Structure 1
């Protein structure tokens, strides 16, 4: 097996590839939200056209991430699969509900998997993130429980917003609300990280 000679990807490039598709979707939607486009004899609203742009852009950036880093996280792979499936259904059926439901499904899956891990006493979050964030096992258990609540709450919030509010409100929630909530969550758990952090000399 040949050694991987890839150079580390700069944080700026990585962030651009990870969040770029979402920004592209936001910009396309804001530009086209009050317009309709006719393609192949079918009329599509701005949300659907933005989805047509978003799906291939996400596929391309995910491929580039894989080529640059040599790996993809489970979350990135699951997101890509669900975006392609539900984004494809959104376009094919000309029904924006499918892409909106995708967010609920992603967070529900993560909440369910982490909860199952707690029940089985197998901390999958620690297996995935333990190298980047060394913590004692007890710390990982507490963080996992909190993330189950977070993901379940986000799934419920997404359902409430897309079913009761405008497309613009949902796009703003997806583009800005979700990243801010995730950032606030991890900042709010800084005390837990410090309390259960492993010293480098510890095994």
Structure 2
């Protein structure tokens, strides 16, 4: 793959990962209505997933999961005329991710290895550590989200959602630094027996 193609794909990944949230924030600050913004989030998530599939010929699991959750909770908000569902979506989404990651640890199966193993070739110990780190991160975000939406204004909560995006980028970069000692060497990334813990 040439550099231009790689750059284009990286740009598309950014749109898939952050475009829907950006559309949600813009819709809220224009309409000041969380239910309307929730619908924008659901539609934008679908569009972002479609763009990602058109470019990469695959559906990225995490954006797809977030899109489905957004659609479900947006429908609930409209049906019950209750914007609380829009706020709960973030708690449920992060709570599920935390549960899946932390519950995988006793079995030695690391979902992040399945999702990112081609991009970040880590040792099994590296995948165990990154699974713990992200499991605790998602759990903390779910708990903080509950505290923020229950005690702050809608506008403050939406700003918090934007801050979490920046935090996620910083946290992800920090993992690369912390796990550099667990990167597989070039000779270890060749043909090997599939890891049963995958």
TM-score (norm. length: structure 1): 0.83
1:192 paired residue among 171, 175, 178: 178
What is the match of residue 26 of structure 2? 27
- Checking the alignment, whether the CA contact within 8 Å between 1:100 and 1:162 is kept in structure 2 is yes
- Deviation digits for residues 12-65 of structure 1, max 9, x if unmatched? 2332243222112111211222xxxxxxxxxxxx22222232322221221222
- Checking the alignment, whether the CA contact within 8 Å between 2:112 and 2:127 is kept in structure 1 is yes
> Is 1:109 aligned with 2:76?
no
TM-score (norm. length: structure 2): 0.85
Gaps of at least 5 residues in structure 2 are 190-198
Q: Mean Cα displacement is larger for which, 47-56 or 92-101?
A: 47-56
More helix by share: 2
Tell me how many residue pairs correspond in the alignment: 184
- Deviation digits for residues 114-142 of structure 1, max 9, x if unmatched? 11110112122212211100111111111
Larger Rg: 1
1:167 paired residue among 146, 149, 154: 154
**What is the distance in 1 between the residues matched to 2:48 and 2:175?**
30
- Checking the alignment, whether the CA contact within 8 Å between 1:123 and 1:141 is kept in structure 2 is yes
- Deviation, structure 1 residue 189: 2.5
**What is the distance in 1 between the residues matched to 2:126 and 2:117?**
11
**What is the distance in 1 between the residues matched to 2:111 and 2:20?**
28
Root-mean-square deviation (CA, aligned residues, Å) is 1.7
